[in-house]
Amino acid sequence: MADRITYVGLDVHKETIVVAVAAGGLRGEVREYGRIANTPAALDRLLRKLGGDGMTLRFCYEAGPCGYDIDRRLSARGHECVVVAPSLIPKRAGDRVKTDRRDAASLAKLHRAGELTAVWVPDVGHEAMRDLVRARVDAVHSLRRARQQLSGFLLRQGCHYGRPAWTKLHRRWLAGLNFGQAVHHIVLEDCIAAVEVAEARRDRLTAQIEAMLPDWALAPVVAALQTMRGMALVNAATLTAELDDLSRFANPRQLMAYLGLVPSEHSSGASVKRGGITKAGNAAARRLLIEAAWSYRFPARLSRALLLRRRASPS
């Protein structure tokens, strides 16, 4: 039966895909197939050439910027496909030559040996929601950068507010600033405009998340998370979009390892050395959980907003 299985390694790029094929069995031949275009038509031709005579095809490729379209296309045609975690691919210490052909052949051989670690592939709807919440994260970063640029400009001009920034009083203070050079007024107005544009983008994406949430399959999970302290709409939606259904983790240890919240360790013999958290896995979800945990430094009081969310929750 093993000789009727072909393992196909794909080194995927924006325009092309380099293909290598490993025959079934421990000592099966590994050969280069060649380079094809990264198009649906070229992929269909590859399936017809390799899948003849009842041959079973098992594909694999590294997770990267090209996304999961190839995995979905191959799965829709009834072929097994694995999207591989690049950081967990075994590599020989003495290997100093890296080419696309070698990468594809290595993927095919490792897939045949069962040495590759697959990543979780979201469905189309979940990936769309995740893209939306990540767009809002990018908007928040842009807003922070715009505010820092404005604060840096004011600091160079010797302007110090001395109170909490970005309140109504702070904006009124910005509007009343005077400079000796007219050019500085132009710079100030441009920085303020950049902050306002970034704020509008953040608020627009927040409204879109709230509008799209009722149609999402995981909306009940988002509602349940909001009953906890430190979890409002945006945090709950972002955490759910990054983690998907928590039942896919067999136990809490797997979830903590996925988030990189387990301690690092370097022990040998009688020597036991443990360090800080590994910070592996999903950085966005880890950051949100840490921010939510900060709320538990304070006394356990229910705010009016949290009380309303708990009353509205079906659970």
Could you report the per-residue pLDDT of 41-61, keeping only the tens digit for each? 999 999 999 987 778 999 999
Checking if the pLDDT of 66 tops 70, the result is yes
Nearest to 288, CA basis, from 222, 236, 212: 236
Mean pLDDT, the chain, rounded, equals 91
Strands 16-23 and 30-37, how do they pair?
Answer: antiparallel
| Contacting residues for 106 by C-beta, under 8 A, at least 6 apart | 9, 89
Which whole number is the average pLDDT over 207-224? 93
pLDDT score, position 176: 92
Sign, CA torsion 31/35/40/42: negative
The closest alpha carbon to 244, from 67, 135, 121, 137, belongs to 121
Per-residue b/e over 119-128, b at no fewer than 16 CB within 10 Å? eebeeeebee
In this predicted structure, the answer to whether residue 1 has a pLDDT above a threshold of 60 is no
For the beta sheet containing 80-84, the strands, ordered from the edge strand earlier in sequence to the opposite edge, are 30-37, 16-23, 5-12, 56-62, 80-84
Task: List the one residue out of 18, 21, 39 whose CA is nearest residue 31.
Answer: 21
Share above pLDDT 70 across residues of the chain, in percent, rounded to a whole number: 98
Choice among 30-34, 47-51, 191-195, 302-306 with the minimum mean pLDDT = 302-306
Alpha helices in the chain (DSSP H): 40-50, 69-76, 100-113, 124-156, 168-175, 182-212, 219-225, 233-243, 252-259, 283-293, 304-312
pLDDT digits (tens, 9 = 90+) for 112-135: 999 999 999 999 999 999 999 999
Residue from 17, 68, 89 nearest 47 by CA: 17
pLDDT at 3 over 90: no
Q: Are 58 and 8 in contact (CB under 8 A)?
A: yes
* pLDDT, average across residues 273-295: 90
pLDDT of residue 131: 96
Cα 138 → chain centroid:
12
For 37, 48, 72, the CA distances from 78, given in Å and listed in that order, are: 21, 13, 10
